[in-house]
Amino acid sequence: MDLSLLDHAFMRHALAAGALAGVACSVAGVFAVLMRLTFIGVCLAHAAFAGGLAALAFGLPSLPAALAASMVSALVIGPLADKGEISPDTAVGVVFSAMIGVAVLCMGLMPGPKTEALNLFWGSILTVRMADVWLLAGVAGTAVLGVALFFKEIQAVACHRAVAAAVGIPATAVFYAILVQTGMTVTACLPSVGGLLVYSLLVSPAAAAYQLTYSLWRMFVLAGLFGAASGVGGVLLAWYLDVPAGAAVVLLSCALFLLAAWFSPKRRRTGSRP
Amino acid sequence: MAAGIISGGAAPSGPDSACPASSRAAVTLRDVVVAPRGRTILEVPALAVAAGEFLAVVGPNGAGKSTLLGLVNGLVRPASGTAMVLGRDMRAPGAWRVRRRVGLVAQMADVDPRLPISVLETVMTGGYGRLGLLRGPGAALRALALANMERTGIAHLARRPFGQCSGGERQRAAIARALTQQPDILLLDEPTSALDWHAQRDIMALVSAIHRERGADGGPPLTTILVTHDLNALAPPPREGRVPVPPSPVDRVACMAGGRIAWAGPLDQALDAGRLTQLYGTPISVIDHHGRPVVLF
């Protein structure tokens, strides 16, 4: 195998970013899939994207603004979804359209070329800096450490949130910690994967793992592996086939999901083939 | 128990008999109002449940029965009044910690069959609250969970995915989980709904035995509050041949309607055709079947 691609610093950064983004997104995705909160992932991703663009429009650094926007969205959407005040579909519709509106407005306000703004939209994994890789490493490490330290609480809340609350687990605190972690993950992935594509990386690896196991810790491990494989594999496809890296990452994660769904023992057990 | 709100518990009475005679109360409610979004859904002038008592709560849909359980468990916060559970003021900061000592068996009808959690892991969840953060579930909790699964007849399901259990098996797992909490109060929210008749009888026999055993083994008594639509489940089960059946564990029945306790008193007076007809707003008969009251509607 030709490993000359590793001679290039940008490829080493891209591969590391792909693997770390895959792991970080997959861990957050497990919560989203299990708790049926994928709509919150959509909202947080678009909020981070709009926040980043708003900062660029005013000449400010994009990532802190993206993080702030995703945190504010989490703190607004979380209670709404939590208390059943508004349906998930409605929340997605309102926040998604509002954030797209903010993004388009900010892009319109930006003078000159909009390369940096478009990078937040599509991501540019082949141009990530070492600082972005360290940020992703920090987020992925936090996610893995959090799962290791609070596995029993996470399992209880992710599988039976109402029961977890009833037995005296601080379920609401765990829920919001999950939202915050998801917001941090989405923000850290903006430079590499982009605000539009990160949602797929958030959901597909975790959804693929969900098809294959009845054990939560195995689901975390499989999701992390699928996420890392999608990130690294997408970058390699981009190198060898000369295709856009972000799209390759996302399509690979979707292909992994389709394969997992097809070979899922859960599907065979219920006998419901599509 | 708070003085002044206790009246003769066994005496036939109206709402005031929501307070039994007892030396110690597990639950004391006084002038409690629950009003989410400004709409009053529960209003209890006075209710005391003695430690070790078995209270059954019946009433039509929307009567406030489940809200009452939520109040005792700390999942529902009163808008006003005083709610004391196991000596803790439920309006005070940190009141949620009382949940570690209150087991709740709720209906779990909507469970994803692909959920990545086994029956044993579900039962062990009951002990996580008491265990606290950053402490792994060790062998002791696992053994306790397995013992409670043995007690509820589901030890053979330990490794089965929880979502693939039948309704009756889930209810047994929920009871085992509540027992793993080592609770001082056991709350049961329609534990027999959606179950076949055999499973209903088994679950009620299990609940009765658990309540009775905790009272008899010299440890702290178990206070049980059962919400049910199945009025026939409250009476002792029918005798099978010459085998004697234990009496009903129910000490008192509270009839709820419109968010209030309309009547509370002993079981034999609760199963009254006129009272039930008025409570449910539909003609109800109570017949005697070999000495056992049977409710018909």
Nearest to B129 among A162, A168, A218 (CB): A168
Give the DSSP letter of residue B126.
G
A159 with B97: Cβ contact below 8 A: no
Give the rounded distance of the alpha carbon of B264 from its chain centre. Answer: 16
Domain chopping of chain B, boundaries: 15-296
- With CA atoms as reference, the chain A residue closest to B104 would be A166
Q: Which has the closest alpha carbon to A99: A47, A53, A39?
A: A47
Q: Do A156 and B97 touch (CB under 8 A)?
A: no
The shortest C-alpha distance from A31 to chain B (Å) reads 12
- Could you tell me which chain B residue has the CA closest to the CA of A218? B116
**What is the architecture of the domain spanning B15-296?**
3-Layer(aba) Sandwich (3.40)
- Answer yes or no: are the C-beta atoms of A32 and A179 closer than 8 Å: no
pLDDT at B165: 92
Domain A4-262 grouped into CATH 1.10.3720.10: no
What confidence tens digit (pLDDT) does each residue in A186-221 have?
999 988 888 778 888 999 999 999 999 999 999 999
Q: Judge whether B181 is closer than 8 Å to chain A, CB to CB.
A: yes
Q: Are B65 and B227 in contact (CB under 8 A)?
A: yes
Question: Which pLDDT score, from 0 to 100, does residue B156 have?
Answer: 95
**All structural domains of chain A with their residue ranges:** 4-262
Q: Which residues of A touch B (CB under 8 A)?
A: 34, 149-150, 152-153, 155-156, 159-160, 162-170, 210-211, 213-216, 218-219, 266, 269-270
Q: What does the DSSP 8-state code read for residue B220?
A: P
Among B152, B221, B206, B208, which Cα is nearest to B180's? B152
**Interface test mutation site (partner A, options B118, B133, B189, max chain A beta carbons within 10 A):** B133
Average pLDDT for runs of 10 along chain B of length 297? 33 46 78 92 95 94 94 92 94 89 85 92 95 90 95 94 91 93 94 80 87 79 92 76 74 94 91 90 87 82
**Strand ranges in A101-160 using DSSP code E only, listed in sequence order:** none
Number of A–B residue contacts, CB under 8 Å: 89
> Which residues, at least 6 apart from A56, have a Cβ–Cβ distance to it below 8 Å?
A62, A106, A110, A116, A117, A120
| Chain A residues touching residue B182 (CB < 8 angstroms) | none
Report the alpha-carbon distance of residue A158 to residue B115 in Å, rounded. 10
Tens digits of pLDDT across chain A (274 residues): 677 888 899 999 999 999 999 999 999 999 999 988 777 777 888 888 889 989 988 888 888 999 999 888 888 777 776 766 667 677 767 877 888 888 888 888 888 777 878 888 778 888 899 999 999 999 999 999 999 999 999 999 999 988 999 999 999 899 889 989 999 999 999 888 887 788 889 999 999 999 999 999 999 999 999 999 999 999 999 999 999 888 899 899 999 999 999 999 887 655 444 3
Query: Which residue in chain A has the smallest CA separation from B97?
Result: A168
Q: Which helix (H) or strand (E) holds B28?
A: strand B25-34
Are A89 and A164 in contact, with CB atoms under 8 Å apart? no
What gap in Å lies between CA A81 and CA B286, rounded to an integer?
A: 45
Task: Choose the mutation target among B66, B102, B114, B123 for the interface with A, i.e. most A CBs under 10 Å.
Answer: B114
Q: How far is it, in rounded angstroms, from Cα B143 to Cα B140?
A: 5
The two tokens of residue A198 are: 């990160």
Give ipTM to 2 decimals.
0.85
B118 touches chain A (CB under 8 A): yes
**Interface with chain B: mutation pick from A147, A151, A152, A267, highest number of B CBs within 10 Å:** A152
Residue type, A81: A
The residue with tokens 């708003």 is A54
* Chain B residues touching A266 at Cβ < 8 A: 113-114
Query: Structure tokens of A91?
Result: 């929340």
Based on DSSP, count helices (H) and strands (E) in chain B, helices before strands.
8, 12
Whether A150 and B134 lie within 8 Å, measured CB to CB: yes
DSSP lists the bridge partners of residue B83 as B29
Residue carrying the six token digits 């030890």: B155
Question: How distant is the Cα of B297 from the closest Cα of chain A, in angstroms?
Answer: 34
Instruction: Tell me if chain A has a CB within 8 Å of the CB of B66.
Output: no
Any CB–CB contact under 8 A between B16 and chain A? no
Chain A residue at shortest CA distance from B137 = A152
**Sheet containing strand B54-58, strands side by side:** B102-105, B185-189, B223-227, B54-58, B252-257, B260-265
CB-CB neighbors (< 8 A) of A261 in chain B: none
Mutate which of B69, B125, B165 to test chain A, going by most A C-beta atoms within 10 A?
Answer: B125
Nearest by CB to B99, from A160, A166, A219: name it: A166
CB contact under 8 A, A153 and B131: no
Inter-chain CB proximity B125 and A166 less than 8 Å: no
Chain A contact for B158 (CB, 8 A cutoff): no
Regarding beta strands B292-296 and B285-289, do their DSSP bridges make them parallel or antiparallel, or are they unpaired?
antiparallel
pLDDT for B241: 66
Cβ-based contacts of A153 with chain B (< 8 Å): 128, 133
Q: Test A34 with B115 for CB contact under 8 angstroms.
A: yes
Helix (H, G, I), strand (E, B) or coil at B82: strand
pLDDT tens for A213-241 read 999 999 999 999 999 999 999 999 999 99
| Residue where the block lists tokens 């018909």 | B296
What b/e readout covers B109-140, taking b as 16+ CB neighbours within 10 angstroms? Answer: eebeebbbbbbbbbbbbbbbbbbeeeeebeee
Which of B90, B96, B117, B141 to probe the A interface (max A CBs under 10 A)? B117
The DSSP H or E segment spanning B219 is none
Burial of A197 (0-12, 13-18, 19+ CB in 10 A): buried
CB contact under 8 A, B177 and A34: no
Give the model confidence (pLDDT) of A58-77 as tens digits: 888 888 999 999 888 888 77
Q: Which of B97, B122, B134 is nearest residue A168 as measured by Cβ atoms?
A: B97
- The answer to whether the CB atoms of A34 and B128 lie below 8 A apart is no
